[in-house]
Amino acid sequence: MTGLSPTLRGYLWTIYAACATLALAQAPLLPGALAPGVCGGVVVFGGLAYLAERTTLQITQAVNQTVTGAVHIAAILLFPPPLPLALTLLATLAAELPQTQRPLHKRAFNICLAGLSVGIPSLAVARLRGTGLTPLRPGHVTAALPALVGVILLYYALNSALLLGVLSLGTGRPPWRIWLTAHRPTVLPELATCAVGILGAALWRVDPTLLGLLALPLVALHAALRTAARALAAEERAARALVQASVDGLTGLLNHRAFHDRLDEEIARAARGDRPVALVMVDLDDFRAINNTHGHQAGDAALVAIAAAIRASIRTADVPGRYGGDEFAVILPDTDLDEALVVAERTCAAVAAVALAVQGDTTRPSASLGVAVLPRHARTRAELIRAADGAAYAAKSAGKNHARPADDTPLVPLYRRA
C-alpha cells in the first residue's frame, strides 16, 4: 500500500476486516450446509464462478464487464450460507492469484469486494427463507418477485458502492461523477447478467442439465456487445479522423477547405433566414520578418499564440479559421457591418497585445483586418472573400494594425427583406 493516502489505506483495511468478519461469522454454518445432495452443485457453481471471473462483456472499447453476477445471483438463490460466500471467495482467489502484475492490495480488495457483494445478500435470502418466502419456490415465484428484485439491487448496490468508494478516494473525484462517466454504461449489462442468474437458478431447480440452455444466450450477448463496441469504436475513429481532416494541425483552427465549407453553410443559412453574415480577414503585418530573423520555429510559436488571441477575442458563435500561411479569417453569423467592425477591432487589439519572447527579445505582431458583409458587399462566397481581402489590403496600405470595412459600393441584394 505504499503511496496510498491514509484515508484510502483505512478504507481498504475496513473492507478487508468486514470480509474477514463475515467469513468467520458464517464459517460455523459450513458443516450443516454441506448436505450430500448439495456438494455436487457447489462444485459446479464454483467452476462456473471461476469461468465467469475470466469472461468479460465488452461494453465499449475501454469498458468491460464480467458475467460473475449471473453465477453469484444463482448461487445466492440456490444455496444456504455460507456456501455462496465460500465458492465466491475461492473462485475469486483462484482468478486473482495469477495476476502477479497487479498490486497485492488490489487483488485482496477484489476478493473482498466479491465476498461482501455475495455474502450479505446471501444472509438476506436466508432470512427470507426463515419467513417462509422462498424465492423460486414452485407456485410462489410471482409473490417472490419483489424479493428477487431486491436481491439484485442489493447485490448491485454493494458491488458498486464499495468499488466507487475506493475509486473516489484514489482519484479525489466524487463517487457520483465516477459512476456517471465509467459505470453507467455497465448498469443494464450487469442487471441483465443478474437476471440470467435468476433464470439459471430456476432451471437448476427443475433439472440441472437445463442450465446448458443458458450458454447460447450468453454467447450471443457476448458477441452482440463485442460487435456493438467495435462499431462504436469505428464510429469514434471516423469522427476523430473527420475532425483531424478539418483542423489545421498547428493552430487548431479550421483549415482552408473546412473554413470554405463552413462559410458556404453560413451563407446558405443567412439566405434562408434573410439575415446578414460577415467575414473578417486577418492578414498579419510583416510576419515574414519573424521567420527570417528568428527561424520557422519562432514563427510557428507566433502563429499558435496569435490563433489563441483571435479565438479569445471573438464571440462564441463566431467561426475562426487559418486561411493560409500568415492569414486568418473569421465568420460572424447574423452580424451586420457595425457589429463586425467592433469584433474586428477587438481582434486587432488582441493580436497586437501578443508578446513573443524570442532569443531574449520581445516581438509584438500586428495585423491588418478587412471586414465585408453579405449581402451588403457581396452576393457570393467568392465576392465576400474578395471584398474582405481587399479591405485588409487597403488597411495594410493605409498604415497597418487596424481594421477597415470593404468598399461600400451598392450591390443588388442577393435576398431582400420583406
CATH assignment of the domain containing 112: 1.10.1760.20
Give CB contacts under 8 A, 24+ apart, made by 135-140. 135/77, 135/201, 136/77, 136/198, 136/201, 136/202, 136/205, 138/205
Per-residue cell: 250: 498547428
Q: Are residues 137 and 170 in the same domain?
A: yes
Q: Are residues 102 and 80 in the same domain?
A: yes
pTM: 0.55
Q: Are residues 221 and 268 in the same domain?
A: no
Residue percentage of the chain with pLDDT more than 70: 87
Q: Are residues 108 and 17 in the same domain?
A: yes
Q: Among 243, 276, 302, where does a domain finish?
A: 243
268: domain CATH number?
A: 3.30.70.270
Q: Among 214, 243, 272, where does a domain finish?
A: 243
Span 334-362, mean pLDDT?
87
Burial 284-301 (b: 16+ CB within 10 A, else e): bbebeebeeebeeebbeb
Residue 319, classed as helix, strand or coil, is strand
Q: Are residues 80 and 169 in the same domain?
A: yes
**What are the backbone dihedrals phi and psi of residue 388, each rounded to the nearest 5 degrees, phi first?**
-70, -40
Q: Are residues 237 and 274 in the same domain?
A: no
- Residue 342's identity, in one-letter code, is V
Burial 87-121 (b: 16+ CB within 10 A, else e): bbbebbbebbeeeeeeeebebbbbbbbbbbbbbbb
Q: Among 217, 243, 269, where does a domain finish?
A: 243
Q: Are residues 236 and 280 in the same domain?
A: no
pLDDT of residue 411: 40
Answer whether residue 114 is part of any domain. Answer: yes
* Residues of the domain holding 158: 6-243
Q: Are residues 169 and 239 in the same domain?
A: yes
Answer whether residue 1 is part of any domain. Answer: no
Query: Could you tell me which residue, 222 or 318, shows the higher pLDDT?
Result: 318
Q: Are residues 236 and 297 in the same domain?
A: no
pLDDT surpassing 50 at residue 416: no
Q: Are residues 302 and 218 in the same domain?
A: no
pLDDT of residue 230: 73
Answer whether residue 147 is part of any domain. Answer: yes
Q: How many domains does the chain have?
A: 2
Strands (E), 248-334: 277-284, 319-324, 327-333
pLDDT of residue 163: 92
Q: What is the mean pLDDT of the chain?
A: 83
Q: Are residues 71 and 213 in the same domain?
A: yes
Per-residue cell: 3: 503511496
Question: Could you tell me if 316 and 257 are in contact, meaning their C-beta atoms sit under 8 angstroms apart?
Answer: no
pLDDT of residue 225: 67
Per-residue cell: 56: 468479460
Answer whether residue 186 is part of any domain. Answer: yes
Residues 241, 260: Cα–Cα separation, whole Å:
19
Residue 134, classed as helix, strand or coil, is coil
pLDDT surpassing 80 at residue 418: no
pLDDT (tens digit per residue) in 130-182: 665 555 665 566 667 788 888 899 999 999 999 999 999 988 889 888 888 87
Question: Could you tell me if 55 and 180 are in contact, meaning their C-beta atoms sit under 8 angstroms apart?
Answer: no
Residue 56, classed as helix, strand or coil, is strand
Residue 83, classed as helix, strand or coil, is helix
CA atoms lying within 13 Å on the CB side of residue 283: 22
The residue behind cell 481587399 is 390
Span 37-41, mean pLDDT?
77
- Residue 170's identity, in one-letter code, is G
- Residue 176's identity, in one-letter code, is W
pLDDT (tens digit per residue) in 292-343: 777 778 888 889 999 999 999 998 899 999 988 889 999 999 999 999 999 9
CA distances from 410 to 48, 113, 257, 377 (A): 82, 76, 30, 7
Strand-pair partners of 327: 283, 324
Q: What is the DSSP string of 392-411?
A: HHHHHHTTSSSEEEPP----
pLDDT of residue 42: 79
